[in-house]
Structure formats: structure tokens, C-alpha cells
Structure 1
Amino acid sequence: MTSWIRFRQPQGHIGFGVLDNGSIAEFDGDMFGEAAANGRQWKLDDVQLLSPCVPSKVVALWNNFHALSQKLGKAAPSHPLFLIKPPMSVIGPGEPIRRPKGYSGKIAYEGELGIVIGKRCANVSADEAGEYIFGYTCVNDVTAVDLLNEDPNFAQWCRSKGFDTFSCIGPVIERGFDWRSAHVVTRLDEVERQNYPLSDMIFTPEQQVSMISHDMTLMPGDVIACGTSVGVGSIKDGSTVIVSIDGIGALPNQLAAARQPEMVA
């Protein structure tokens, strides 16, 4: 398997490359096109990891696991149920989740597997879909829960999930990852809250890519968040969520503590 990452080094240089035993072999070119090692090496401890890709959109699924579907009393869908999260919502490992200004309500985590698209993808079959999957990553799909049904006339999925910093992605894009035997584990302040098998997905990654590609064109670097299972919960200000998948790694993000109002002398 090959682990691709993006990083920023202390002088501000942003690059991408392959992670191997704690060091990064930097590449030039396009991660999703022509890329070649340029000979530069960086120690992982000396750089800041960024989101491993810069998607034009994040496609986030709902009700894609049998266990959660049964808990909610919902029938399994016949087509992926999804919403679109904007690119401005994306952050990488270790970056803070920011509470929306003026919002004091509940904020929830959802640990998920992310599919990273490797080339322009439109109207592909399920048999072809694997050729368009560049690799896999971890996702924390964050939600401002109280906004979802704020207006009884219209469920605000995009608004409640689309705020800046509400799509945590990383730490790497793992190529050759076998999702069938893996689990998503989510910890909140070191307490395990989710531990579910990816084999329980209603739609496989190939089916997701195929069916969604008939609804919209997917571009290189786009991410499909495969949906979550049981164990979703809320995050308190200052708490840290770590989403981990064996074979990919761990994605930590903290909900930044709310700023206290300044005292007037």
C-alpha cells in the first residue's frame, strides 16, 4: 500500500508526497496525474499535515449502514442518499473545528470512511468504478445539529454540515486499502464512541462511485464520505475527536473552545 499526503513545512512550502517510515518523499507534478519524486525528503515530525487532497466537493452519504438503518427504523435506500459539502469546509488532521459564529447549539461528530476520486468520473458502471478510486481516507463529518430542522418546512442538511472546518479529512490517502475487513473507530477525549465494520455498508464504494457519477461528474480529489453507523454523539468545546481506521491512520481534530467575552474595564 502507498500513503499519499499533503504537508506544509515551517517556511510555508506546501507539497505532497509518499509517507514511508516517518519520512516523506516529496513529489512534483499532480498527485492524480503525472507525478515524480523530486529527491527531497522531509521528516514527518518537521511538517504540518494538511488535508491529503483539495476536493471541489465532498459528497456525504446518509443511511448507508444496515445497523444504523435498523436503529432508526428506516428502510435501506435504493440509491445513495447524499448531500454536498463545500470545499471551504475541509480541514486536515490537527486543525481545529470552529464553532459557527452566533451558534451555541449541539455539534456532532461522525466517523466515516472517505473515498478519494482519482480521475474525472461520469456515468461509469459499478464494474468500472474501481478504476476511478484513487484511494481511501478518514473523515469526520461534523454537524451543527440544532440547525438541521430549525425550519420545519425544509431540512437544512447543507447548511448544518457545510460550515468552514466541518469536513475533517486525513491523515493520508491510502492506496490498495482493503475496506472489507476494516473498522471505523471514533474516540471522544480518548473514550471509544464508535467501532463499526465497513462490511456493513449498504452500498459498496464501487456502487457509490458508479451511482453518484450518474448524478454528477466527480473530479480528481473529490471525496465521498461513505456515511456513518451507530454511536454518533456531540462534542463539547475543547474536546478532541479521533477517527481511526486500521490501514489508514488516525485523524484528530479538536472543537475549539468558545471565546470568552472580553471584560470592559
Structure 2
Amino acid sequence: MATFWIRFSCDGAEGFGTVEGEMVSIHEGGMFAGSKATGEQVPLSDVTLLAPTAPSKIIALWNNFHALAAKMSMSAPVDPLYLMKAPSCLAAPGATIPRPPSYAGRVVYEGELGIVIGRKCSRVTPEAAGDVIFGYTCVNDITAADLIAADPTFAQWVRAKSFDGFGPFGPVVAKGLDPSSLTIRTVLNGQERQNYPVADMIFQPYELVSRISHDMTLLPGDLICCGTSLGVGTMKEPVNTVEVIIDGIGTLTNGFVQ
């Protein structure tokens, strides 16, 4: 049975806890170690959700789904291909994200599964990776698509994905969940645009965590965005609503205004 963790603000103070129906069970200590329920509960409607963690780094995968690789005539990579998003790009669930004033091109949504790390780890095996994963979440890896190849001498992946607000995730982190049967759906302005299974991943979550941990130390709260599949598209309307839906985790909803 999964538990659902959130960070929130209430009456000017930040806190964290678990969601049980329409109530939040408040915890003290640390979310990743020494967490203890205080016995106090507040209605979910009385709190403002924050990004579920404050990651030291956000890692985002490229070419991690067989279906999208086939459509783009790309072979499966030997090792995970990834980039970094600036932690300052985070946005809370429900936030409305404005177009960056320094960029006038296409802005696209990318609905993804996110892995949240729960323990400091380095060079873990795939078999041990489950012990260092705290849980799973919904991600919208927003991208300034025209910026990536704007300069032929240098691909601008980090800038294209790190504008303020381009990293919404949440609304919860689901702990104790098997991600293998999950499906990611993305709905733009009421129309479903993405619907693809985690099972189509080239590098599955445990393998991803293991491989990346051999490159760099992962810290509690770090976020790995597992990559996206078919159906990525541009947010064209003056006001857009994007929902990333993963049954078993929840729905991440954000606005984007031109």
C-alpha cells in the first residue's frame, strides 16, 4: 500500500506529511530519515502544496523509450543519456508558469515519471537501487524547444529546460509503489496528448538509479525525470492547462501563459 508524501505551507510555515484522503497527517523530523507523525491533522484544502522535495539536482533523461526512439529512427543508447535542470526551475503543483521574457519560440510539455531519491548513494547495484529510492512522482519537463539547436556550435539543453518554472513536479511522492505497471498520460487543455507505459522504458527505474549513481553521488530529495515518449507538443493557446496523470500517484496540474 503506497503512502503519499507532500510538502506544504500553512499559516506562513512550511511542513511535510502524508495525505490520507482529504486530510494531511503532519510529520516532524526529516522526510527521508527520522520522520514521525505528530498526531495533528489538517484538511488538505487548508494547505498550499509546494514541490514535494528540494532536490540538489534534477536529472532528465533523453531517448529512454523504445516507441519514441523508433519514431525518430534512433537506436537504443548503450548508457543512459541525460542532462541537468537547474533546481531553481522548480514550480509547485498548481502553479501558473509565465513565458520567459527572453525567449519567443515554442514551449513544449513533456509528461514523465519522476524518481525521488531517499538515501545518499554512490555506485549502487540495480538490485540495491530499490532501497535508495524514496518514491515516484509526476513531472512536466517543460522545454524551450527552439532554443536547443539555435546555436549550431553548442546544443543548449540546460538553458532550454531550466527557465524559472520549467520544472513542476508532484503533487505527491508515492512511496511503496511498484512503477512497472504504471502509465503516464498528459492532457493539454482537456485533450489527451500522451499515453504510454513505464514498461516501454529502455532503462527501467532501478537500472537508471544504478547507472547514474556510478557517475555521481545521489542525495536525498534528488529528482530523476525518466524521459518522455510519443505525443510531446507545443503549448499554443494564450492560457494553457497541462495535466500529467499517473494512476497510483495522482495528477500534476499546471498552467502556462504566453
TM-score band, normalised by shorter chain: over 0.9
Partner Cα separation in structure 2 for residue 13 and residue 39 of structure 1: 18
What secondary structure does 1:97 align onto?
Answer: strand
Q: CA deviation at 1:98?
A: 2.3
Structure 2 spans left out of the alignment, 5+ residues: none
Structure 1 spans left out of the alignment, 5+ residues: 259-265
Partner Cα separation in structure 2 for residue 179 and residue 4 of structure 1: 16
Aligned residues: 256
TM-score, normalising length: structure 2: 0.97
Partner Cα separation in structure 1 for residue 110 and residue 4 of structure 2: 23
1:137 corresponds to 2:137: yes
Partner Cα separation in structure 2 for residue 119 and residue 187 of structure 1: 33
| Equivalent position of 1:262 in the other structure | none
Look up the equivalent residue of 2:168 and give its one-letter code. Answer: C
Partner Cα separation in structure 2 for residue 178 and residue 246 of structure 1: 12
Alignment of structure 1 residues 1-265 onto 2, 5 Å: 1-9=2-10, 11-236=11-236, 237-256=238-257, 258=258
Q: CA deviation at 1:42?
A: 1.1
Partner Cα separation in structure 1 for residue 84 and residue 68 of structure 2: 21
Partner Cα separation in structure 2 for residue 110 and residue 253 of structure 1: 12
Superposed CA deviations along residues 41-97 of structure 1, whole A, max 9, x for unmatched, are 110111111111110111000100000000010000011100011110111210122
Superposed CA deviations along residues 207-263 of structure 1, whole A, max 9, x for unmatched, are 00000001111100000000000000011331010001000000000003x4xxxxx
Superposed CA deviations along residues 100-124 of structure 1, whole A, max 9, x for unmatched, are 1221111000000000000101111
Look up the equivalent residue of 1:91 and give its one-letter code. Answer: A
Partner Cα separation in structure 2 for residue 145 and residue 36 of structure 1: 43
Superposed CA deviations along residues 183-218 of structure 1, whole A, max 9, x for unmatched, are 100000110000001100000100000000011111
Superposed CA deviations along residues 154-197 of structure 1, whole A, max 9, x for unmatched, are 11100100111111100100011121111100000110000001
Partner Cα separation in structure 1 for residue 187 and residue 73 of structure 2: 26
Partner Cα separation in structure 2 for residue 153 and residue 252 of structure 1: 36
| Equivalent position of 1:263 in the other structure | none
Partner Cα separation in structure 2 for residue 96 and residue 88 of structure 1: 16
Partner Cα separation in structure 1 for residue 39 and residue 86 of structure 2: 34
Partner Cα separation in structure 1 for residue 50 and residue 139 of structure 2: 13
Partner Cα separation in structure 2 for residue 222 and residue 197 of structure 1: 23
| Equivalent position of 1:261 in the other structure | none
Partner Cα separation in structure 1 for residue 208 and residue 114 of structure 2: 11
What secondary structure does 1:128 align onto?
Answer: helix
Deviates more, 1:83-92 or 1:245-254: 83-92
Look up the equivalent residue of 1:221 and give its one-letter code. Answer: G
The alignment yields a C-alpha RMSD, in angstroms, of 0.8
Partner Cα separation in structure 2 for residue 90 and residue 161 of structure 1: 11
Q: CA deviation at 1:39?
A: 2.1
Partner Cα separation in structure 2 for residue 70 and residue 185 of structure 1: 20
Partner Cα separation in structure 2 for residue 35 and residue 176 of structure 1: 16
What secondary structure does 1:206 align onto?
Answer: helix
